[in-house]
Amino acid sequence: MAAPQTPAKDTGKPGKKRSLSARGWVPDYHGAWAMVFVPITLGIIIGGFVPAHIPFYLLWGVGYFCFFALTKWFVARRKPLYATPVKAYVCACAVLGILTLWSAPKLLLWAPWFAILIITTVILIRERKERTMAARGITVTAGVLVGAVTYDLGTGFQRSSFSLLPVPVDTHMAALSGHNWSSSVTGWKWMWLVCLVLLLYFFGTVPVVKTVIRERRSTPHLVFSIVFHALAAAFALVSALLGWTGWALFAVFVALLARSAYFPLTMRYQGKKWSAKTIGITEIVFTALVVIALWLP
């Protein structure tokens, strides 16, 4: 998830209008929308819909807006301009949080994991390290993990009784909904596999964007991006060979590997200029391809 730009200095002109994004109300890192809403939606689709998903979905959406407002507030050194959206979204999250827990109290089982991610992220933002790979990795993990939460909610919190497991796993895989294209991977195994695929894809977008925009002259970032995507493609190959996912997903990850090299290298050696809009459109297409390929042989 890309962090917002550092706010420009206020000119103090009373007649100057600011956009909702500039005032901290609407997130301006548009590339994060898919990461925020695709995993949670897939968790509902795979696990099955229950009424408690409604307040939780709203809580997650408003929480995303709150995260944006808090980031703007911290980056701007607690400038009063951003205090109003922070207060509004925190209050909204509190109300929706109460409704969500009233609908499904067992969601508290996930609270420790998200508390760790949220606290770590806030610390990084306060230290003005919100653009580091560590910060990006944490936010991507949180975005993907919420898919498992909605799956857990949809399947009625059916978990293994093995207490040492830090994450839920069902002992009878066929008992829970959700399966891959061949029905060889079912239940929690399938949900965690979907989460892993989404984690590899969404985290991979971080170095790609960096190598095209802020770190376009950085060779280490370019090498990291290509190596990461090569490893992700290798995982997709092994997964296809084992029958966990199909060859369609492997083909998509090969295309992602090619994309990780094509954009930055053509900028370096051919002088091409890739706009953020072009990269964003490309990622929308790849997001759709990854999701569709999950269920293809």
Of the candidates 77, 66, 210, the one whose C-alpha atom is nearest the C-alpha of residue 137 is: 210
DSSP secondary structure of the chain: -PPPPPPPPP---TT----TTTTTSS---GGGHHHHHHHHHHHHHHH---TTHHHHHHHHHHHHHHHHHHHHHHHTTS-GGGHHHHHHHHHHHHHHHHHHHHH-GGGGGGHHHHHHHHHHHHHHHHTT-TTSHHHHHHHHHHHHHHHHHHHHHHTTS---S-TT-SS---SSGGGSS-B-TTSSSBHHHHHHHHHHHHHHHHHHHHHHHHHHTTTTT-HHHHHHHHHHHHHHHHHHHHHHHHTSS-HHHHHHHHHHHHHHHHHHHHHHHS-----HHHHHHHHHHHHHHHHHHTT--
Question: Quick one: pLDDT at residue 196?
Answer: 97
CA pair distance 54, 95, nearest whole angstrom: 13
CA pair distance 125, 66, nearest whole angstrom: 14
pLDDT of 14 higher than 70:
no
Average pLDDT (229-243) is 98
Question: Quick one: pLDDT at residue 96?
Answer: 97
Q: Specify the range with the lowest mean pLDDT, choosing from 47-51, 117-121, 140-144, 164-168.
A: 164-168
Per-domain boundaries in the chain: 20-157, 175-297
pLDDT of 148 higher than 80:
yes
CA pair distance 284, 32, nearest whole angstrom: 10
Structure tokens at 216: 């376009």
CA pair distance 255, 249, nearest whole angstrom: 10
Of the candidates 287, 124, 117, the one whose C-alpha atom is nearest the C-alpha of residue 204 is: 287
Average pLDDT (100-104) is 96
Structure tokens at 93: 């999250």
Above pLDDT 70, what percent of the chain? 88
Question: Quick one: pLDDT at residue 125?
Answer: 81
Per residue in 61-73, pLDDT (tens digit) is: 999 999 888 888 8
CA pair distance 297, 293, nearest whole angstrom: 8
Average pLDDT (30-37) is 84
Question: Quick one: pLDDT at residue 24?
Answer: 67
Question: Quick one: pLDDT at residue 164?
Answer: 61
Q: Are 45 and 295 in contact (CB under 8 A)?
A: no
Residue 7: which pLDDT band, with cuts at 50, 70 and 90? very low
Question: Quick one: pLDDT at residue 128?
Answer: 79
pLDDT of 3 higher than 60:
no
Question: Quick one: pLDDT at residue 49?
Answer: 97
CA pair distance 130, 37, nearest whole angstrom: 21
pLDDT of 5 higher than 50:
no
Per residue in 126-147, pLDDT (tens digit) is: 787 878 888 899 999 999 999 9
Q: Specify the range with the lowest mean pLDDT, choosing from 9-18, 24-33, 172-181.
A: 9-18
Q: Are 24 and 72 in contact (CB under 8 A)?
A: yes
